[in-house]
Amino acid sequence: MESGSNENPSRGHIVLGVTGSIAAYKAIDICSQLTKAGFRVETVLSLEAQKFVTPLPFQTLSRNPVVTDLYDEEEGWKPTHIRMADEADILLIAPATANCLAKLSHGLADDALTCIALALNTSAKLVIAPAMNGKMWLHPATAANVRILLDRGASFIGPEEGMLSCGYEGVGRLWPVDGIVQHVVNLMTC
């Protein structure tokens, strides 16, 4: 697998993590907009995300291979997830499920995305855009996980209120794509 094949000069390197939410389809637009803005975007799809989206649109739009498994390997000696963790300026997880937040807050590393998060270089920023059922977002366990991640320096964008895919209305919707992209652009230009 060839890495960094994006032909445009890069404004920075963003690893886009996508987890198993119905909002995963919006991550395709996030990938597209960040690539058009001049960033090198590499995408990591969790197993659950692949129930909603496939690697092809991310690969096509970013012009980079997509990691779908911890053992997706490139040529060379360094494991792909470690290379990505070393090179990232921002790890953006959008959408991030309650399960993903729990894994991140407790240091679990059982897939490519959580391994990248655990090995993330100390100068990189972790940006999380949650999307889940409102009851899950408001659950004390999720609130505790968010506090842990905030204490470790992660930043959150969203979620917002509105009609949820489960039929409820409340907090839990993925923040608008344009807002997520603008937040990342602002972080990269600070």
88-135: per-residue pLDDT in tens? 999 999 999 999 999 999 999 999 999 999 999 999 999 999 999 989
Q: Is residue 1 part of a domain?
A: no
Assigned domain for 169 exists: yes
Instruction: Check if 166 is active-site.
Output: yes
Confidence of residue 9 (pLDDT cuts 50, 70, 90): low
Question: 152: which 2 tokens?
Answer: 């470790």
Domains: count for the chain: 1
pLDDT at 72: 79
Who's near 141: CB < 8 A, 6+ residues apart?
102
pLDDT at 164: 66
120 located within any domain? yes
Q: Residue 184 sits in a domain of what CATH number?
A: 3.40.50.1950
What's residue 83's pLDDT? 93
Domain residues for the domain of 144 are: 13-189
In one-letter notation, the amino acid at residue 33 is Q
User: Please, what sign has the CA dihedral across residues 180, 183, 188, 189?
Assistant: positive
In-domain check, residue 124 = yes
Asked if the structure places residue 84 within a domain, the reply is yes
Q: Is residue 181 part of a domain?
A: yes
* Helical pair 26-36 and 55-62, crossing angle rounded to 10 deg: 10
Q: Which one is catalytic: 31, 100, 166, 190?
A: 166
Bridge partners of residue 96, in order along the sequence: 130
Residue 3 located in a structural domain: no
Residue 165 belongs to a domain: yes
